Chains A and B, each alone.
Chain A
């Protein structure tokens, strides 16, 4: 297992990493969300010994924390992961897996680049420039959680407060757009 934090908050991630032995990587520039067309977390992929993606972007949970919101039973998902790890059972047929993830739109690509510029300006101490570029990124991809929600803590907004419900409502109204597959 390789965990990628779509995050720049190394200390918070470190605090949650106590006792974990698998690699945890920090992706402050959102490289992986660009390369794999990831639009929300948690997103899980199963990749075989030869670099083939046998389970593309999958909204899978290690616990039932969000079960009320998602209706997803994490234990069933964990069973799929264990079956693949032990005996190679695939959750999706290769035919279904191919094309299960839609490519990013040009707006979603641009949003990732403006997010990157915003992060750079924030690190340089240019709060105004950072905010300008975060807003540009959010306007381009308003329902992409790796853009709007990831920006909230960096913009001084509590990602677990009112802003969450506003985003969640807008996301539902937009038909829950997700680059990948959901379900057990």
Chain B
């Protein structure tokens, strides 16, 4: 989960289907929307497409991830799979994440597994 599963795309939500796997980790295949050995059946493939482009926000919706599009800048933000947060609040399973420390070096929450951890969210504001 080194990329935290969050995505920021430039150029709007309509992308080349070939770029989908790189953007979201899921690819459009004849059998559906696939990641590794898992495929989600796509009942209405046309609804995902605009001409020969695929709408990443529609794909995000199918794989249960939130998406937002700022039309002026054409930036598209796609959030983490909702399953990860549901695991935290319903199943009490701590989602892993990767963030930089004060020196900019990435650290995984899971690096500290097998220890009790006090996770403290704080701020300067």
Contacts and interface: CB of A to CB of B under 8 A. Distances in A.
User: Helix, strand, loop or mixed for chain B's interface?
Assistant: mixed
Chain A contact residues: helix, strand, loop or mixed? mixed
B16 to A, nearest CB: 22
Interface residues of A, number: 75
A49 B123 contact: no
B50 interface: no
B4 to A, nearest CB: 5
Interface residues of B, number: 47
A41 B122 contact: yes
B36 interface: no
A113 B66 contact: yes
B66 A5 contact: no
Contacts of A132: 70, 72
Contacts of A5: 122-124
A165 interface: no
Interface stretch (A66-74, A114-122, A170-178): A114-122
B93 to A, nearest CB: 6
Given A13-B102, A36-B85, A133-B70, A51 B125 contact: no
Nearest to A46: B118
Given A53-B94, A104-B85, A23 B107 contact: yes
Contact of B102 (A24, A44, A84, A159): A24
A34 B73 contact: no
A150 B124 CA distance: 9
Interface string A67-87: 000000000000001001100
B31 to A, nearest CB: 29
A2 B121 CA distance: 9
A133 B86 CA distance: 26
